[in-house]
Structure 1
Amino acid sequence: MLFVVVDLEFHSELAASFPTDKRCWMVHTEDRETWPSADGKKSGVSRGRQNTAQVRLRTLVLIRWIAIFGQLAAILIVEFGFGWVLPLNAALAAIAASAVLNLTMAFRHPMRGRLSEWEAAAYLAFDVLQLAALLYLTGGLGNPFALLFLGPVTVSATVLSRAATAMLSVLAISCASVLAFNHLPLPWAEGGLYLPVFYVVGLWVAVAVGTLFLAGYISSVAAEGRRMSDALTAIQLALAREQQLSAVGGLAAAAAHELGSPLATIAVTAKELEREIPDVSEFSEDVRILRLEVDRCRDILAELGRSPKLADSAEPFATALLSDVAAAAAARHRADGITLEMVATGLDESPEPLAARSPELLHGLGNVIQNSVQFATACVSVDISWDEREARVEVRDDGPGFSPAVLDRIGEP
């Protein structure tokens, strides 16, 4: 069974075809059982799914290698350059754990691969915990490198969702809260360095406020940048689609012009044969069918040669109700023994949208309906529905449907 949906949404991509600023958005084919009715419980149209952030593994691996070498350098300089005592073995173990994870991720995943949002969030959460372990060994919030808690949160705010960023912010503030009063002494000269409680509380407030501010501000700026990028991509796709439609329209007009002369010759020959052959001849019916099909081809070529961009929008029949356009597209494809039903239904109080009688729309819908008529057993239904936001044309038939191998390739050029 074939079930095809043509979804017409309120966009400006094909304004020439839809004066009401709608466009032919998507065509899907699927077995009827997998597509529910229009009761709103399940959508029969493939919507644009919400984009989930994906981060290149190579980017996070590179950032972590920089952090590993920086941490190692700081530990070695303090231990051997300044001569201050610190738990060297434990600190090196924390750094080694980060290096092992980096190597494991590099070998198990392709470097050019991408991590899902929550995989990247878990990756950054490990960085927060590893930094907290190092700070615990080296003085807690009194360590100047405590500001590095802002690093993973900043990266998350730039590329991940607000939920992932909020999780990392809570984790960073929680670690800072624990480190404020639970840590080993800060490495220092003989006698040590002890910071006042109010100063430590001030450091904690600085880390917490900095984390929340950067998470909120950078996340908002990055989201706005992504929206602008998505809008630019949509415009580029619309322009590319318009160029393709213009090229197809020019090719169709050229084909109609080139085929006009030989088709006219065939038409004249068919008429001569129809006059010469007696009605009682066994070939008379074949010649009559040939002439009718030639006339049909001439009508098709005439429509293909008509450019919708040059059409006068003030013409009385330049636009029509969507149901009338669908009926015009289906008119040529009615067949004996197949019932073709058309139903138009408004889902709200909005009026039925108007659509231009463009060759692209007529032939696009006509091809879908023709396919259903050819493979239907007894019935083909064309359901037109609309609301304030979108219009939908659904073509169903009771035929066998596409095989799984064909379904996987539908939509490919």
Structure 2
Amino acid sequence: MFAPERAADARDTGRRIGRLRWLMLLLALALAAACAALEVALPWPLIGQALATLALVNLALPRLPAWGLSDEAALRVGLLADVLVLTELLAFSGGAANPLASLYLPPVLFAALLSPGGFAWLLALLAMAAYGLLFEWHLDWPLNGGNAAYAFNLHLAGMWMSFALSALLIAGFVSWLARQLRRQGDALAEARETQLRDEQLLAVGMQAAGAAHSLSTPLNTLTLLVDELLSERADDAALAQDLRLMQSQLSSCRTTLARLKHGSEPSPGALPLFAALAERLEGWRSLRPDVRLDWFAPGGDDPMVRLDAAFWPALFNLVNNAAEAGGGEVAVSASLCDGRLRLDIVNRQGWLSEAQLARAGLAPLESAKPAGMGLGMMLSHATLARLGGTLSLDNRAEGGVHARIELPLAQEESK
């Protein structure tokens, strides 16, 4: 069945067939001019009326949806007009003996491809009936004094022309339709992959919500124990320093769990881009004192932008992966070009297989980290895709892995 829900595709198909119809009308006019130049005595007023009728129908077809008819109905009206006008032209120029009678096939083929079902069968039966009636009801083709050789050569030329037009129409339109089907198949496959990824993310989100609830009590207990130990062993400087570090780490964990429970961080509004990145990375450094992080930002003005709260977990998933796989060294560089933020995250160790590179972000990667679940890359990929950005991975020739984030940003004027 023709898919009426795909209105844009239906209109595009109708426009293409309309252009083909104009092309056929031009060819018909050229053929009529050639016959007139050869002084073939045809009923020119009747032929002109048939061609003018088809031209008027083709002009009216794009306006039919505005008058209440669907795109499918407009397509059917056009194909029906093609068969009727072709029957009229053949009836005025030799009937069934006219070799152009094989041009009944393209409209029937288009109906079978674009509107399969009852209408296609109806149009096929109509074309068969019209072709049959042309054996009896038609005007004879005027012969050149009964010259049989002239008539036969003219018939052969007409057969070649009819075959060439049918072949071109069928090959061109069917090729276009095959490309459309291939494009829709690719889109469907991509939609399936997206649905699978969303289902995985939903499962991860449910598990994360359960984990946040379960971790609240032990974190509160640990915080109370650290506070008590800190008050009791304040005289031990080395232990007190370790306890204060543990206290800050627990506080960071509680803050993260609170954000997780509430779904996201509150939007801070417009921020200076590179300063905000530097501040967040500095905070990450305090949580990972064992990792050397090199930060590179371009000089000049710092643009004011709004960063979605979901961007930060996606970024730090990648930074954590790079730090844990890169031997404790990671470099992050930023640039802004044509309204797009580019972040390059590089480590000097590690390597991804071709399969991992191909599937990065589509499914959990096989993680080589001691406790790695391989979900970070998938979560980052999904988050950046939702924000309109991209994530790409490649192995560096000198060793290590390079992750690149590209994200469109709307800049705001500084106040």
Query: Which of structures 1 and 2 has the larger relative contact order (alpha carbons within 8 angstroms, sep 6+)?
Result: 1
Judging by fraction of residues, say which structure has more helix.
Answer: 2
Larger Rg: 2
**TM-score with structure 1 setting the length:** 0.40
